[in-house]
Structure 1
Amino acid sequence: MLFDRKGLFGVNVFVVPMMMILSVAVWIKMMMAGDLCRPDIAASDYSLKAMLSPFSYAAFNLAMAQAVLVPVAREAASERAVRRGAMLGGGILTGLLLLNHIVLLSFPQKDGYDIPMAEVVRAFFAMLYWLYVVVIYGEIFTSVIGGLFGLARQARIWVPISGKGIGVLLVLVFVAVSPFRYGELLSFLYPLFGYMSLMLLWLLWRRKLPR
């Protein structure tokens, strides 16, 4: 909020590479141990909610990304650079998501934890456990910053308040919901906002771009 785009990019430049390095390291370790996707792992939930969850999860993250990507893209000098950056970033994050998914499928003790990947890191790299937890919270922190950045930019159009004032109001809202457990918030808010995001993406897909 205080440093605008430079602050947003500066935080992500540190956190995202650390997340990538640790995730790839865990995947390599499990692959070397021969524990990836064991044949005794079977799906236990065939409900409609389970079938829709990957689509709602992806839709929610795409919708959240709009708060950052749209203002940044509008200020970019080259549309070609924006497209290439979106393709590259999307490809890298998709690969990272698949690696984490494979690792979690291969780790039987993941249930019951708010951050299961942290327990995987504890099992294979105990010395890096707290570093990974800090990186995870750094990811959450960057999401908050990105949301604040986008919401503040959008709110300035409708509300005559400075960016700092909007940031303070949004932080107060976050503090109000902070007493709830991380896992409880995710289990309730992710599906709710995920279905709303699916509807948003459908509306965006139907809208014709101006020529």
Structure 2
Amino acid sequence: MAKPLPYPLQKEIFTRFRDAEPEPEGELEHVNVYTLVVAVALSAQATDAGVNKATRALFAIADTPQKMLDLGEEGLTEHIKTIGLFRNKAKNVMKLSRILVEEYGGEVPSSRAALEGLPGVGRKTANVVLNMWFRYPAQAVDTHIFRVGNRTRIAPGKDVVAVERALEDNVPAEFAQHAHHWLILHGRYTCVARKPKCPACLIRDLCPYEEKTQ
């Protein structure tokens, strides 16, 4: 496995990301921490745009665990049927809503272990919620970050957990809060999977990727 880029290069890369977009934000629409949990859980194997289209009307009527339970699984399914794996996701949202009501007084916990204990909430979802809502510098690794981390050697790793740890170990502390957002956006719009847009890349001169496009 390749070694991560040295600290001076890491600092320069993230300085450029910060200069270009000082306050990056996630693209999933939500109105509170509960709707953030639901939106991220629904986004697995789906696009943020597709989730947003489905949840705008949903969150207008069900923005708390109790309201979601009152809506019922059939009502929820009707709202999210355009999202992949919607039936299984609907079951998980209802289960996690019930747990939040019965075990947490309707509040979303701020502990990774507690979040990961909710149905349909994995490590990535927990890290997104910890980062975006609770302002903890957690690194939520998706396919974009996995690709960018390995291509650029910002955070090389053979799996998502290894990349997450590499980010935690190598991203300069001053950039840790926003690092995963910068990398997601970079992977989504510039360092794309099939034909990366290297000529438009902010960090082209610092990136060791051998198959750069002209």
Instruction: Give your verdict on TM over 0.5.
Output: no
TM value normalised by structure 1: 0.27
Task: Judging by fraction of residues, say which structure has more helix.
Answer: 1
Q: Which has the higher contact order (CA 8 A, sep 6+)?
A: 1
